[in-house]
Amino acid sequence: MKRDVARRRWLRALLYVVLSIIAIPFLFPTWWMITSSFKTVNQIFAFPPSLIPLTPSMDAYVKAFTFQPFAQQYFNSMYIAVVVTIITMLISAMAGYAFARIRFPGQNILFVVVLIGLLIPSEVTIVPLFQMFNNLGLINTHWPLILVTSFGAPSVLATFIMRQFFIALPGELEEAGRLDGLGRFGIWWRVAMPLARSALAAVAIFTFLNAWNLYLEPTVYLSTPELFTLPEALTHFVDPYSGPMWNVQLAAATMTAVPVLIVFIIAQRQFVEGLAQTGVKG
Amino acid sequence: MHTDTTISPARAHSRAGGTTASSRRRFLTLKRRDSIAGYVFIAPQLAGIIAFVLIPLVLVVYYSFQKWNVLSGTIEPAGAANYQKLLSDPQMPTVLGLTAIFSVGLVLFNIPLALLLAVLLNRRGKGITFFRTAFFSPVVVAIVAWTIVWQFLLQDNGGVNALLKIFGIQGPNWLESGPTAMAAVIVVQVFKNVGLNMVLFLAGLQGVPREVQEAARVDGASSRTVFGRITLPLISPTILLTVIITIVGSLQVFAQIAVLTKGGPGISTTVLVYYLFQQAFQFHNFGYGSTLAILLFVIVLILTVIQWQMRKRWVFYEA
């Protein structure tokens, strides 16, 4: 019996050793990104490398804001992601609710039409979308990013998730709302939406992250640094003569990644559940 | 409006209870008003899909039959010239081969690792929670930030080689030769996203009834047998789903390649999506770019259909 306990303890310790080794490539890059951003270029490439910055310097952070309009770019990313998230939450909650709870002719066919959005990679439609916005004179503006991301293919998954949620909602609650004299809109907004917090949180999380991380679309639509969003801005910290400015680039990357990481650590469960939903996609 | 006249039991009951003609008329208008509400509710989403998915999809087919240089602004009907170009493009076999290597490599590395992590972490404990967070954390790091760090680590004098040097190994210049660059792109992508698949597998593993596993243990099965004969078959729907999602996802990997290797060295990491981007937006050939987009679409469509078929046939039970 005692030997069994000892053996189990050993196995547990072994498990943690194995997990720690596997964890290195998952954690080390983030650690290295943060610590290197406080080093000078010479310290970054010192051998043996130091795991913590011995003489922390904020130079890279200062330079990140002077080399590019980084504050503006940060604001761009932030407001685009927020606007896209709010619009997506609204339209997906509306459409999801209608597909789940309202009976109307042609409903199933229209749902299939919407689901086509899940099938089509954004790379497939990028050329005609570019041309469409070009004809409208909206290239090198934020409009294509906001409109396509909020209303186009990326919002379909949100609609699908909201529909799955509203289908499971008990009908009595709506009936009660109706008896209180609420119309469809009132039932949706006053009864269904407050109950849908968890689904809405999931939608908000993956929509925000998707918008925050978007790279192909900004690369295609935007050409002025003042209009860039963060992912594209990160790739432009390059000195024309001496190549990438590593510490500055890593400082900018840290400012892009760390706030999201902190929110993730606080609201872990919601993040994991929300992002696991994106697996429903296939 | 005639298609929707089915009567639910509740309504049939109230009608049998003696509803008058006038209230029935009101009921119908209520119902009609409800249908209108339905259309209003889906309108924004539907309009978005029509404007930003369906119309572009039709246009991309049309574009693929045009000879179109964006710089000179010339568009002329080209018949099937772009498709002939696709078939005779000397780079095409390489690009498709690289796309296949990338997707297969990704799946072969990602799925077993995700499954291993899920099995190791399918238990309780504080430490376990920490490791779950750790393995999932790259998922929420912006893809370009993640890739930039790896690009930095994979340089000749970067962190990876410094680490190898401590063990006395002289590492290669990872991003400067074809095979290692491809391996790097795959590995960077796997560490970024394997946490998602891990979570899906964890959910699958938690859906396996404990009693079945314990019963098998009582009957004398080793833990390896239990895993191979009971757990694995029971989570096969999850595995299948994950494999297809991962393949379809791998066909859309753009940012990592654009940042890490720009398709190089040479064209050794130029997968289909990146080739499409180059043709359309660097060489300004919208016609041929559209043809490549259709090729991408067809491949994704085939994979999706295969997924549906396999779901019907192979899977032991739907979770």
Across B162-181, average pLDDT: 83
Instruction: Tell me what pLDDT residue B277 has.
Output: 93
Transcribe A46-89 into DSSP letters: -SSPPSS-SS---HHHHHHHHHS-HHHHHHHHHHHHHHHHHHHH
Distance CA A192, CA A194 (A): 6
Where is average pLDDT lowest: A102-111, A202-211, B70-79? Answer: B70-79
Distance CA B256, CA A4 (A): 48
Contact B252/B277 with Cβ under 8 angstroms? no
Give ipTM to 2 decimals. 0.87
Instruction: Tell me what pLDDT residue B293 has.
Output: 93
CB contact under 8 A, B63 and A26: no
CB contact under 8 A, A230 and B120: no
Max avg pLDDT among A77-91, A227-241, A258-272 = A77-91
* Start-end of H helices in chain A: 2-36, 41-44, 59-67, 70-101, 107-119, 122-135, 143-151, 156-167, 171-179, 184-186, 193-195, 197-213, 216-221, 230-234, 246-266, 268-277
Domains of chain A listed by start with CATH number: 67-281 (1.10.3720.10)
pLDDT, tens digit, 9 for 90 and up, residues B184-240: 999 999 999 899 889 888 888 888 888 887 888 788 878 788 888 888 888 887 888
Phi-psi region of A181 (alpha: psi -120 to 50; beta: other; left: phi over 0): left
Q: Is B305 on the interface with A (CB under 8 A)?
A: no
| Among chain A residues, CA nearest to B238 | A279
Across A92-119, average pLDDT: 91
Where exactly are the structural domains of chain B?
9-63, 87-313
Q: List the single residue in A16, A127, A156 with the smallest CB-CB distance to B63.
A: A127
Residue B313 — very low, low, confident or very high, per pLDDT cuts 50/70/90? low
Residue B50 tokens, joined: 């029509």
Give the DSSP H/E element, type plus range, for residue B293: helix B286-313
Q: Is B146 on the interface with A (CB under 8 A)?
A: yes
CB contact under 8 A, A98 and B42: yes
Chain A residues with beta carbon closer than 8 angstroms to that of B133: 265, 268
CB contact under 8 A, B276 and A123: yes
CB contact under 8 A, B56 and A215: no
Predicted model pTM: 0.86
CB contact under 8 A, A23 and B56: no
Residues 6+ apart with CB under 8 A from A184: A102, B33, B34, B37, B41
Residue B307 tokens, joined: 């997924």
- Name the B residues in 260-299 with CB < 8 Å from any A CB: 273, 276-277, 280-281, 286, 289-290, 293-294, 296-297
Q: Which neighbouring-strand residues pair with B207?
A: none
Give the angle B220-A2-A18 at the CA atoms, nearest 5°: 70
Q: List the single residue in A26, A151, A156 with the smallest CB-CB distance to B138.
A: A26
- Name the A residues in 84-143 with CB < 8 Å from any B CB: 90-92, 94-95, 97-99, 102-105, 107, 110, 113-114, 116-117, 119-132
Number of inter-chain CB pairs under 8 A, A vs B = 288
- Name the B residues in 79-108 with CB < 8 Å from any A CB: none
The CATH number, out of the four listed (2.60.40.10, 3.20.20.60, 3.30.590.20, 1.10.3720.10), of the domain defined by the range B87-313: 1.10.3720.10
Residues 6+ apart with CB under 8 A from A24: none
Q: What is the mean pLDDT of chain A?
A: 87
Q: Which residue has better confidence, A268 or A85?
A: A85
